[in-house]
Amino acid sequence: MDGFTGPSADRPVFVLAATNFEVGDDPGEDSRDSKTKIDEALVRRFSRKILVELPDRTAREQYLRLRFSGRASSQVSESGITLVAERSPGLSIAVLERVIEAAARDALRGDGTITDDLLMEALERETFGESRPHTPEEMLRTSRHEAGHAVLYWLAGHWASYVTVVSRGDYGGYMAPCADDSERKYRTREQYQWEIRRALAGRAAELLYYGRDDGLSSGAASDLRKATHTARRMVCEFGMDEEYGLLATPEIMRYVETLNSPVFTKVNAAASRILSEEMETTNRLLEETRSHLDAVSQALAKTERLTSEDLKTILPDARPSLIRQAQEAPS
């Protein structure tokens, strides 16, 4: 680091620093997010910057296996380690360590042994918060809602790593995608369409079971936000809408000043059209796979949790031919 010297030329002072803040020294970058950036003058004094990315599934699995190998107080199985690694995309090693420590504290309330169940409970608590009770009616509705997500994800060619109807934080339940899909760096237009369908599938399942009036509930709020955000990005970031064209205008989604602009109105119109088309497709897909939807929702209502292995015993490996019809449908 420039400006530091040791007592002699042969013993220089090395300064190492680590941060989770954004480190950017491009003068063309927007300065509105300066509160989450390191001062550029300070960054320039360091002779080298090393970006350490978050661990992928393999790295998470290796770390967990290392932490539990030879641990006398552990009965965590290989399948438990694999499931936690699969269910923790985007989590750092520090967060995984907090999960392990939380599981160890919970184990002290019993015989001191960390089990798969204790580790999974600690992961859910760290990620989503403490659990809350459901009424029987809420449990049934949530099971049908989450089953919609899981079935659409299966139709898209993936097995959900975990589906639960245990209520935590702001979630009545949730479906965790598989790590290979959630950690994908590039997506095609078709993959984004399936992502929107998956987000809309909870609302579509409720409509299928409860009708046009009772099927509209607040449980789809976060799903609708995700679907809307994805549709807008398809339009103004990725050039995936023919009517809007190839003009990239990501700043439209960033600044409140743009909300009244004609361009924002045009983006919203294009995104709304995408959402309407994908909702229609999602409704049709769930109607045509109603027996699979029933099977998953019934299993969820009974067990409250399903892993990918559980889903593979409920849903067939072969996807119905209607997937091809969805892909070929005009959009």
DSSP 204-231: HHHHHHHHHHHT--GGGHHHHHHHHHHH
Q: Is the pLDDT score of 1 beyond 60?
A: no
Whether the CB-CB separation of 285 and 326 falls below 8 Å is answered with yes
Read off the pLDDT of residues 102-124 as tens digits, 9 standing for 90 and up: 999 999 999 999 999 999 999 99
Pairing mode, if any, of strands 174-176 and 305-307?
A: unpaired
Other beta carbons within 10 angstroms of residue 110's beta carbon come to: 10
- What is residue 35's predicted lDDT score, i.e. its pLDDT? 64
- Residue 180: alpha-carbon gap to chain centroid: 12
Torsion angle (degrees, nearest 10) of CA 323, 324, 327, 329: -110
Q: Domains in the chain, please, with CATH? A: 1-52 (no CATH), 57-128 (1.10.8), 131-328 (1.20.58.760)
Q: What would the pLDDT profile of 122-169 be if each residue is shown by its tens digit?
A: 999 998 889 888 899 999 999 999 999 999 999 999 999 999 999 987
Q: From CA 20, how far away is CA 196, in angstroms rounded?
A: 30
Question: Do 64 and 82 form a contact (C-beta atoms < 8 A)?
Answer: no
3-state SS, residue 178: coil
Give one word for 70, left, alpha or beta, with left for phi > 0 and alpha for psi -120 to 50.
Answer: left
Q: Please name the residues in contact with 240: beta carbons below 8 A apart, sequence gap of 6 or more.
A: 189, 192, 234
The number of angstroms, rounded, from the C-alpha of 115 to the middle of its chain's C-alpha atoms is 25
pLDDT digits (tens, 9 = 90+) for 210-261: 999 999 999 999 999 999 999 999 999 999 999 898 988 888 877 766 777 8
- Rounded CA gap, 44 and 52, in Å? 18
Residues whose CB falls within 8 Å of the CB of residue 150, separated by 6 or more in sequence, listed in order: 160, 163, 175, 296, 306, 311
Tens digits of residue pLDDT in 27-81: 444 444 556 778 888 888 888 888 888 899 999 999 999 999 888 889 999 999 9
Per cent of the chain over pLDDT 70 is 89
Of residues 156 and 26, more confidence is placed in: 156
Whole-angstrom distance, CA of residue 291 vs CA of residue 69? 43
**What pLDDT score was predicted for residue 6?**
61
- Given this model, what pLDDT does residue 328 score? 53
Q: Which residues, 6+ apart, have CB-to-CB distance to 179 below 8 Å?
A: 56, 57, 85, 86, 87, 88, 89, 161
Question: Is it the case that residue 26 has pLDDT exceeding 60?
Answer: no
Does the pLDDT value for residue 198 go beyond 80? yes
CA-closest candidate to residue 60, choices 96, 114, 102: 96
**CA distance from start to end of the chain:** 55
Tell me the per-residue pLDDT of 300-331, one tens digit each, with 9 for 90 and over. Answer: 999 999 999 999 999 998 777 655 555 455 44
Task: Identify the burial level of 268 via C-beta atoms within 10 angstroms of its C-beta, where 0-12 means exposed, 13-18 middle and 19 or more buried.
Answer: middle
255-294 pLDDT, tens digit each: 766 777 888 889 999 999 999 999 999 999 999 999 999 9
H/E run at residue 163: strand 162-164
Query: How far apart, in Å, are the Cα atoms of 213 and each of 173, 184, 232?
Result: 22, 37, 27
- CA–CA gap between residue 143 and residue 141 (Å, rounded): 5
Report yes or no: 252 and 267 within 8 Å, Cβ to Cβ: yes
